[in-house]
Amino acid sequence: MVQTTSNTNTISKKLSIQVSLNGLSFCTLDANQKIKALEQDNFGIQLSPEQVLDKIKYTFDNNPALQEDFEVVEVIHQNDLYSLVPKALFDKNSLKEYLMHNIRILENDFLAYDEMEQHEIVTVYVPYTNINNFFFDTFGSFTYKHACTVLTSTLLTQEKHSYQTTVFANMNEKSFDLIVIRKGKLLLANTFNHETKEDFLYYLLFATEQLQLNPEEFKLVFLGDILATSEYVNITHKYIRNMSFGNHSKSEQLTSTIKPIEPHQHFVLLSHF
């Protein structure tokens, strides 16, 4: 956990919370556009949406940083229940058709979509409805997006003038998002589950091989929940020569009570600010 301070009954500018079945993280922004709270809770196991909601309720009841009034509340749903669709082929009346070949859709599943206007891409996905209902009941007005929307849009903007091929691995506790961009254009966006470093390496090498990418040539950039000393990094370096850690497009301003973080950490959560 990252240490935070907070004053009860004060107003913060913004709350952004990222939710998955394996963990949650949140960040608050004060009136001076500085991050005043930044915390992460990895569950260790995959929970059900109902169990995750219990975790969220407990966190809101017991964490002083969340017992404030917020002008803006944004929720980021992190899961693999999504598909990216070119805007030219998108029809909001056909959401189920975009997902049914990749994931199992239940009759009572609510489907949503995010538009990446600048990039002409639409993310179609299944949000956690019970969690959205909690935030509606708690805050009234709030917005939500899929994590892949935030990640893909941010990286495409960063890479819009690049002439190389870059593979981004955004690491989460039990999954990773693989984004491949060539000359500013999106080639692949997918999410894979992993339990071991070998799982990660298999999916990385298999996906890049399918795209006919040469491991001697493309650049691999790590983002998210990973350290330079990780065994994932060590094993990958045996096969991928050009590796580095990513950076946020802007330097985050932290209040003095928060310990410094690496530029690649909390990439999705902080990109949303």
Mean pLDDT, rounded, for 53-75: 93
Give the count of domains, the chain. Answer: 3
Tens-place pLDDT, residues 184-230: 999 999 999 999 999 999 999 999 999 999 999 999 999 999 999 99
Please indicate, yes or no, whether residues 100 and 37 belong to a single structural domain of this protein.
no
Q: Does the structure show a pLDDT above 90 at 11?
A: no
Q: How far apart are the first and last CA of the chain?
A: 20
- Whether 5 maps to a domain, the answer reads no
Q: Does the structure show a pLDDT above 90 at 134?
A: yes
pLDDT value of residue 251: 62
Q: Mean pLDDT, the chain, as a whole number?
A: 91
- In this structure, what DSSP letter does residue 119 have? G
- Whether 102 maps to a domain, the answer reads yes
Sign for the pseudo-dihedral over CA of 129, 114, 168, 263 = negative
pLDDT value of residue 101: 86
- Whether 2 maps to a domain, the answer reads no
Please indicate, yes or no, whether residues 50 and 173 belong to a single structural domain of this protein.
no
Q: CA 258 to CA 28: how far, in whole Å? A: 12
Name which residue leads in pLDDT, 174 or 255.
Answer: 174
Q: Does the structure show a pLDDT above 50 at 144?
A: yes
Tokens of 185: 């254009």
pLDDT value of residue 201: 97
Please indicate, yes or no, whether residues 26 and 66 belong to a single structural domain of this protein.
yes
Please indicate, yes or no, whether residues 36 and 95 belong to a single structural domain of this protein.
no
Please indicate, yes or no, whether residues 23 and 158 belong to a single structural domain of this protein.
no
Which helix (DSSP H) or strand (DSSP E) does residue 193 occupy?
Answer: strand 185-193
- Whether 4 maps to a domain, the answer reads no
List, in sequence order, every beta strand (DSSP E) within 88-184: 112-116, 121-125, 143-146, 165-171, 175-182
- Whether 200 maps to a domain, the answer reads yes
Backbone angles phi, psi at 115, to 5 degrees: -105, 125
- Domain span at 90: 82-125
- Whether 86 maps to a domain, the answer reads yes
Q: Does the structure show a pLDDT above 60 at 158?
A: yes
Q: Does the structure show a pLDDT above 80 at 8?
A: no
Closest by Cα among 81, 28, 20 to 55: 20
Which helix (DSSP H) or strand (DSSP E) does residue 244 occupy?
Answer: strand 243-245
pLDDT value of residue 79: 96
Q: Does the structure show a pLDDT above 50 at 4?
A: no
Confidence of residue 5 (pLDDT cuts 50, 70, 90): very low
| pTM given for the model | 0.92
Confidence of residue 18 (pLDDT cuts 50, 70, 90): very high
Please indicate, yes or no, whether residues 67 and 183 belong to a single structural domain of this protein.
no
- Whether 6 maps to a domain, the answer reads no
Tokens of 3: 């240490």
Please indicate, yes or no, whether residues 90 and 109 belong to a single structural domain of this protein.
yes
**CATH number for the domain including 31?**
3.30.420.250
Tens-place pLDDT, residues 87-124: 999 999 999 999 988 888 888 889 999 999 999 999 99
Please indicate, yes or no, whether residues 31 and 111 belong to a single structural domain of this protein.
no
Please indicate, yes or no, whether residues 182 and 107 belong to a single structural domain of this protein.
no
Q: What percentage of the chain reaches a pLDDT higher than 70?
A: 93
Please indicate, yes or no, whether residues 26 and 133 belong to a single structural domain of this protein.
yes
